[in-house]
Amino acid sequence: MLRFTRVLPQSKDGTSVSSPRAALQAGRGQQEDTGVSSMKPNFSGLRALVTGAGKGIGRDTAKALHASGAKVVAVTRTNADLVSLAKECPGIEPVCVDLGDWEATEKALGGIGPVDLLVNNAGVALLQPFIESTKEIFDRSFNVNVRAVLQVSQIVAKGMINRGVAGSIVNISSMVAYVTYPGLTTYCSTKGAITMLTKAMAMELGPHKIRVNSVNPTVVLTDMGKKVSADPKFAKKLLKRHPLRKFAEVEDVVNSILFLLSDSSASTTGSGILVDSGYLAS
């Protein structure tokens, strides 16, 4: 149902190459940057809901799903972002809500209808040293980054179970679910919680053929990523610890999301993909 179409590289005479091994060989020298073929997903006939679809990773995920044939429900907080997204992707269904507000979220999404693919991407990175951490920042962070994932997933999973259909849910976590930095106490804790929430959801939803996984990126230079790595000294030091000597591109994160949404990852659940330029190996 959720398909990935492999786009094989062309051989030197312009014809496509028939086997994966031949494709790899043909790709070498022609695609200097990766040397391997790209994957083109096809989600036609499916409905996808993306939270935090106004900016950054969520916006590009919504656009990629739209381009791959899915009907997309785009959920975010700033209406202007939804207006511009709907212009770029005609047919997208916009929903404007603050996911940190349980009642407003229930009202906005309670009757959302059938959803086959869910990307829980909305998040806030509110930085404070541990010793100065406040109740307000803690509650706001957990409400948006964790509680909304539980609430939106409940709404969507109930619909999948009632319809008796398979589905795939991807939670956008972070490599800071596993490592931390000064100032990230609360943010890291929300992402650590997502690791267990992902496993718990996978455990209970698996028998209903609903898979649940996470994507855990390093810094991605979106509005959020720029804020987190704003100190040039810190950014330089951080970059050096990445074996690939780079942060992640939005596209790299989106590709991992699409992979986990698709049947190409049909036996993967309760798991996560690190998009961390090797950071956790360093």
Ligand X SMILES: NC(=O)c1ccc[n+]([C@@H]2O[C@H](COP(=O)([O-])OP(=O)(O)OC[C@H]3O[C@@H](n4cnc5c(N)ncnc54)[C@H](OP(=O)(O)O)[C@@H]3O)[C@@H](O)[C@H]2O)c1
55 makes contact with ligand X (CB under 6 A): yes
Angle at 252 between CA 247 and CA 255, to 5 degrees: 165
Residue (222 or 265) nearer to ligand X, CB:
222
Helix, strand or coil for residue 88?
Answer: helix
98 makes contact with ligand X (CB under 6 A): yes
> In the complex, what is the shortest distance from the CB of residue 28 to ligand X, in angstroms, rounded to a whole number?
31
Q: List, in sequence order, every beta strand (DSSP E) within the chain.
A: 3-7, 38-42, 47-51, 71-76, 93-96, 117-120, 167-172, 210-217, 271-275
Q: Is 178 a catalytic residue?
A: no
> In the complex, what is the shortest distance from the CB of residue 66 to ligand X, in angstroms, rounded to a whole number?
16
Residue (188 or 210) nearer to ligand X, CB:
188
x/- contact string, 75-94, with ligand X (CB under 6 A)? -xxx--x-------------
CA dist., res. 178 & res. 191, Å (int) = 8
User: Is the sign of the CA dihedral 25, 26, 30, 32 positive or negative?
Assistant: negative
Helix, strand or coil for residue 110?
Answer: coil
* Phi-psi group of 252: left, alpha or beta (phi > 0 → left; psi -120 to 50 → alpha; rest → beta): alpha
x/- contact string, 142-181, with ligand X (CB under 6 A)? --x---------------------------x-x-------
Query: What is the set of active-site residues?
Result: 187
Name the residues that contact ligand X, by CB under 6 A: 52, 54-58, 76-78, 81, 98-100, 121-125, 144, 172, 174, 217, 219-220, 222-225, 228
